[in-house]
Amino acid sequence: MKRVPLLTTVMGKPWLWSFLAALLIWIATIAFTGGQGAGSLLSGSLSFSAFFVIVGIGQMFVITTGPGNIDLSIPANIALSGAIGMKLMDGQPGLIWLGVVGVLGAGMLIGCANYALIRVLRIPPIIATLSASFLLQSMAIAYGRSIRIQPPEMFYQFCTGNIWGVPFLAISVVLLAVIMGYVLTRSIYGRWTIAIGQNARAAELAGGHVNLIRFATYVLSAVFASLCGLLLAGFSGGASLSMGEEYLLASIAVVVIGGTSVAGGFSNVPGIWGAALFLYLLVSMLNTFGASAGVRLILTGLIIIAVITAVSGRKSARTA
């Protein structure tokens, strides 16, 4: 039996390239600044990337279930959940549990509503979740208008603190990513999710509950977006209506750049971390170089298009 060299195996991992890209951008930024702020840049990238990873994992499960499946309600969900969490906590350490439970419950309800639009009303996922986002944003405006409640000090310290320069939040999200990686590759739910993305009809004939699995993925995505909203509000010192805006593009970008197939049926969790670090460091580098916000958005969009094109090309080559 021919043994595959370790280097060849590692280089074949789809998540490797996002980490290498992030490393190169970090080196370029540090070289430009003469080495100043290397530690703070790395610590900041871990903190901010953690939020991208949380929403990216939920979005990844949805995209993995097959073409057309996507959750566009994430930004509005983040804004609403942040307001709900801060309102329930009311700045009191003894009410942190209530805020967490309330936000996770809201996420479950949002996920159920999203899938109800898709399944019951037969609305395409992209339209259903986009429509839901307008409703959620309206609820966030009505519920969170003029509310600027600071998070409890204990919760704030968790969201912003660090140990030896490594943020508590990043450590927690790494553990979350490990758990979800196990769920994706080892659990029955994760394996059926991948199988449905590869061929929904074959999965159904094999005994898979296609609708139930897809329902679970939309609920999972909504719960993770709600969790992100709660943590982001704690990190920012309070909720705001606009704090979820950048996560629509980011939640899709980290999934695609991280190596997940937009056609469904193939995904990986480690790549989301690499892509999240890459996107944050890319923006930091462009800021350091003095690039405008428009240039940053254009470059990010071009990267996503390039990756999608590359993925489609590899798929066509395999099926040719």
Residue pair 251/55 in contact (Cβ under 8 Å)? The answer is yes
Q: Encode pLDDT of 117-142 as tens digits.
A: 999 889 999 999 999 999 998 888 88
Position 144 pLDDT exceeds 60? yes
Question: If you average pLDDT over residues 17-34, what whole number do you get?
Answer: 81
- The beta strand positions in the chain, using DSSP E, are 162-163, 166-167
Q: Structural domain boundaries of the chain?
A: 38-311
pLDDT at residue 204, as a whole number: 86
Q: How many angstroms separate the CA atoms of 212 and 221, rounded?
A: 14
36 burial (CB, 10 Å; 0-12 / 13-18 / 19+) is exposed
Is the confidence at residue 300, as pLDDT, over 70?
A: no
Lowest-pLDDT range of 6-10, 184-188, 191-195: 6-10
Distance of CA 110 to the CA centre of its chain: 17
User: Which residue matches tokens 């999710």?
Assistant: 193
What is the model's pTM?
0.88
Is the pLDDT at 49 greater than 50? The verdict is yes
| C-alpha span between 186 and 190 (Å, rounded) | 7
User: Which of 50 and 207 is assigned the larger pLDDT?
Assistant: 50
List the structure tokens of 309: 């094109």
The set of residues, in sequence order, having a beta carbon less than 8 Å from that of 101 and lying 6+ positions away, is: none
Longest dimension (CA), the chain: 68
Confidence of residue 310 (pLDDT cuts 50, 70, 90): low
51, 304 Cβ separation under 8 angstroms = no
- The neighbour count for residue 314, using CB atoms within 10 Å, is 11
Q: What is the CA radius of gyration of the chain?
A: 20
- Enter the CATH code of domain 38-311: 1.10.3470
Instruction: Report pLDDT digits (tens) over 206-220.
Output: 888 899 999 999 999
Q: Is the pLDDT of residue 13 over 70?
A: no
What's residue 282's pLDDT?
A: 82
Task: Look at residue 292 and give its three-state secondary structure.
Answer: coil
**pLDDT > 60? residue 320:** no
